Structures are given as C-alpha cells and as structure tokens.
Chains A and B, each alone.
Chain A
Amino acid sequence: MQATETEEKACCRPADCRLVMLLESSIGKKIMVALAGLFLSFFLLVHLAGNLFMFSGAGAFNHYASALAHNELLPVAEIGLVVLFLVHIALATRAWFINRAARPVGYQVYAGKGGRTAGSRSMAVTGALVLVFLLVHLKTFRFAPAAVREADLFALVVRRFRSPWYSAFYVLALGGLGLHLSHGVQSAFQTLGLNHPRYTPLIKKLGLAFAVLIALGFMSMPIYFGFLGGAK
C-alpha cells in the first residue's frame, strides 16, 4: 500500500494540473491538435460550401458574403477560429521540435518499412505552406479595405484570381492542404482513440475523400476564374 501512495503523489493529483498535462504531455498535446484539426476541417467544409456561391454569379455570392459579414455571431466564430488555429499550430510546432530533439543523431540510411505516406511525412511542410497561404488569403480578402470588400467582393475575388501567380500559389497551397488533410483527418481519429477493425478502413477512405473534396473544391475557383477565364 505504501508503494501505491508514493506513486499517487508522483502523479499530478490536483484537478488544475490536468489541463496543464493535456497541453504538456505527448499524448495530451496530440489529442488537442487532433481535436482542433477536426474542428478546422469542419470549418473548411462550411467555408467551401459558402464559397461555391462564386459559381452562382456576383449577385448570389455578394448576398451570401454580406449576410455573413453582418451576422452578429461572426466575431464569435472568428475568435473561435483564431483559437483553433493557434492551438493547432502552436502545439503541433512544439511537438515537431520535441520530435526532432528525440533523435539527436540521425541515421545515415533510413528506409522505413512502408508505414509512412506522402501525406504523413510532409505534415510539417504542408502545415507551414497552409499557414503562409492563410496569411496571404486573409490579407487579400478578410483584411482588404472595407470599401472594396463591401462594394463587390465577387469582383475582388475575380480580379485577384486573374493574376496567374496568385492563382498558381492558391492551387499549390490547396494541393498542400489536401495532402495535409489526407493524413490529418484519419490520423485525428486514431489520436482520439477511435480505432476499430470494422470502421477504421472506412475512416481512412472517408478522410482521403474529404481531403480530395476540399482540395479540388477550393482549387476549382482559382482554376475557373483565373485560368479558364470564368466570369468574363
């Protein structure tokens, strides 16, 4: 019995310690990254659904954009998104540095036995690419001068996509996002402990399908309005 009591003291017992543990421990950190990632994936789906109004013309898209901009709950949603992004990026970055430190001397030859995928091995790179994209994207549209945004957001989007470099960057970054999601979505379920021989193969397929849907869905706009001359 004495041994167990010492062990209990070694664990963090106070309730306030548990949150710190969730953010600091290896598994807790991954759980937070996974949760934030899944919420962000849901945001992507909603964002894509709204943006597809672009294909319904200036009227429909501008109406949607104005309704969204004047929704009183938008600031709440935006703050929520900022928090999700910060948690996801900060904890994943911290984990990345710890993981590099976990093998101070690398292998001269490292081949692996086929566990890794293109998505899984490039998570840090695609994550960084998506972050750069996010900053450019926010600067162009979310933080465009209010007058320009409110006058005709549709025209602003089309104008930006007419720049081949801008559209090419979008396509590249969205490809990166797709790769990121191809590992991230199914991986989040594993991190949350959801693994079962019956449904894990399905989760993997749906995760991949989701990644393709999101990447192609968002890419369709710079491709259509930028390269195919849509809305001329």
Chain B
Amino acid sequence: MADKNEQTMNLTLKVWRQKGPQEPGRLVEYKVTGVSPDMSFLEMLDVLNEQLVSRGEDAVAFDHDCREGICGMCSLMIDGRAHGPDSAATTCQLHMRRYKDGDTVVIEPFRAKGFPVVKDLVVDRSAFDRIMMAGGFVSVGTGAACDANSILVPKEKADKAMDAAACIGCGACVAACPNAAAMLFVAAKVSQYALLPQGQAERDRRALAMRKAMDAEGFGHCTNEYECEAACPKEIKVSNIARLNREFLRAAVSAD
C-alpha cells in the first residue's frame, strides 16, 4: 500500500468533542502525525484515535461502515462542507492526498434538530428511518416470484427512478442545507416510487405521509438554495424536489 518514497503529513485537527447528547460540546485541537496521502479521511481519524488511545485519551467517536461510499453511514462536516471538499463523494472516499503537511482541518458533526448528536461526531439519523416508515415503501404480494418483465417500465422513467434510488440516506443534504431541510432525501425517496408503476398504488398517501413525517422530525423548509445537490455524494438532482412538490400538491388537491 505505502509507496516507499511517500511523504507522511502532520495535521492539526479541530474536532467537535461532546460526551453525550445533553453535554455541552466544543472544538478540541489535536495534532495527528504520520498521515499517508494514500489514506482515506476515515483512516486518518483511525490514526488519530490510535494516537489518542496510546496516550490514554478517549477516542473520537465517528460513524463509518462500508468505507466504499455505498452504505451512507459516514458523515462529517469537514471545514464546513458535508463529506468534505470533493463533489460526488462520501467522507470515506475523501483521500488525504487532498491535504498537505501542516494543514488545519475543522471536523464537526452533521447538524440539525432532526439529527441530534449522540457523541462527538456521531449523530442519530433515525429520523430518516421514521420518514421511510411513513411511506417509503411499496406494498407487494409476496407470493411466487412473478415474471421479470410483466410490468413494462419506460427506459427514461427507469433511469430517473434509478438516479433517485441512488440516495444512500447519509443526510449530507440536511447537513449542507442552510435551513436543515430534508427535502432532497424525501424527494429522492418519493421520486423513486412515483416514477414506477409499482409505486402508483400508494402514490398520494406516500407524498402526504412522508411530508408529514419530515415536518414532524423538525427539519426545515426548502428555500431552493441547492446546497443539498452540491453536497450530495450520489448527485441526486433538485429536480426531484420539484417532483416532490408536484406529488404533494397533486395529493393535497386530489387525494381522497
């Protein structure tokens, strides 16, 4: 892995430390040494934690799982940007070659009323699960597997539905939104079903119920600033938000 000519870096990190949900938090400065440019950002945090633990200090808690950009578990506001400076990438896909020796990096948790801090950089994103439970599903008969192409789906619709379904539910849209709105997430989830024949049965109910659940979680209102689209690691488009607005209006006006 390591190139023999590789130069390692020393960085100054300002990391949000918070012992628990109700505890006050603050930025704490750490020096992390021996960071390889080949490391991912999360591996750099692993190195920091090794150094902290070896000094007998408490490791920094942060979320991570697959470390290949598909699980939606990693988060972090890095120098004020959700998932760091790169576009179309999660924090685990951010590499330390983006930084140079001596850089200072500020690391904060995703912040929203709907994403309360659990500890340090870990936030509780189960609000998204509750929004999904309100309507982010299709009801299907679970008998024998039906013929694959029995329901025809136009290619354009299938493509758009797939683009919306690329959402990994990481919450970067909420974190990046000046209003902490969850519209891009909800829009992606509503869109992936609204575009497909299988999603029609619950279409109106879904739009109304997911909107209701979204508001109940304390997320803000969309003001079309499009920071969500810019921050989304899966490049979910704000045209989905327009679709959500249409779906909501349609359901509000015409649903039984």
Contacts and interface: CB of A to CB of B under 8 A. Distances in A.
Report the 5 A-B pairs with minimum CB-CB distance, sorted nearest first. Answer: A195-B242, A193-B246, A111-B80, A102-B220, A113-B230
A58 to B, nearest CB: 43
Interface residues of B, number: 61
Interface residues of A, number: 51
Contact of A115 (B230, B242, B253): B230
A178 B117 CA distance: 40
Interface stretch (A21-29, A80-88, A130-138, A147-155): A21-29
Contacts of A10: 209, 212
A183 interface: yes
B252 A108 contact: no
Contacts of B117: 105
A98 B221 contact: yes
Interface in B40-89: 77, 79-82, 87
Interface of B: 14, 16, 25, 27, 77, 79-82, 87, 106, 108, 111-114, 117, 135, 139, 176, 178-181, 183, 202, 205, 208-209, 211-212, 214-215, 218-231, 238-239, 241-246, 248-249, 252-253, 255-256
A8 interface: yes
A183 B135 CA distance: 32
Given A11-B212, A27-B245, A103 B222 contact: no
A25 B212 contact: yes
A113 B238 contact: no
A23 to B, nearest CB: 11
A101 interface: yes
B111 A103 contact: yes
A36 to B, nearest CB: 15
A30 interface: yes
Given A103-B220, A112-B227, A4 B139 contact: yes
A193 B220 contact: no
22 contacts: A7-B135, A10-B209, A26-B214, A26-B222, A27-B211, A30-B223, A99-B179, A99-B220, A99-B221, A102-B112, A104-B113, A105-B25, A109-B79, A110-B80, A111-B79, A113-B227, A113-B230, A115-B176, A116-B225, A190-B245, A192-B245, A193-B243
B148 to A, nearest CB: 27
Contacts, number: 164
B228 to A, nearest CB: 7
A194 interface: yes
Given A11-B209, A107-B80, A109-B80, A195 B248 contact: no
A187 B224 contact: yes
Contacts of B202: 4
A4 to B, nearest CB: 7
B81 A111 contact: yes
B186 to A, nearest CB: 9
